[in-house]
Amino acid sequence: MADHVYKMIELVGSSTESSDAAARRAIEQAAKSIRNMRWCEVVETRAHIENQQIAHWQVKLKVGFTIEDSE
Which residues sit at the interface with a second copy, rule CB under 8 A?
Answer: 1-16, 18-20, 23-33, 35, 37-42, 44-49, 52-57, 60, 62-64, 67, 69, 71
Least CB distance to a second copy at residue 46 (A): 5
Report CA torsion sign: 42, 47, 48, 54: positive
Which residues are registered as beta bridge partners of 58? 14, 46
DSSP state of 24: H
Least CB distance to a second copy at residue 68 (A): 10
Q: How many residues in the chain?
A: 71
Least CB distance to a second copy at residue 66 (A): 10
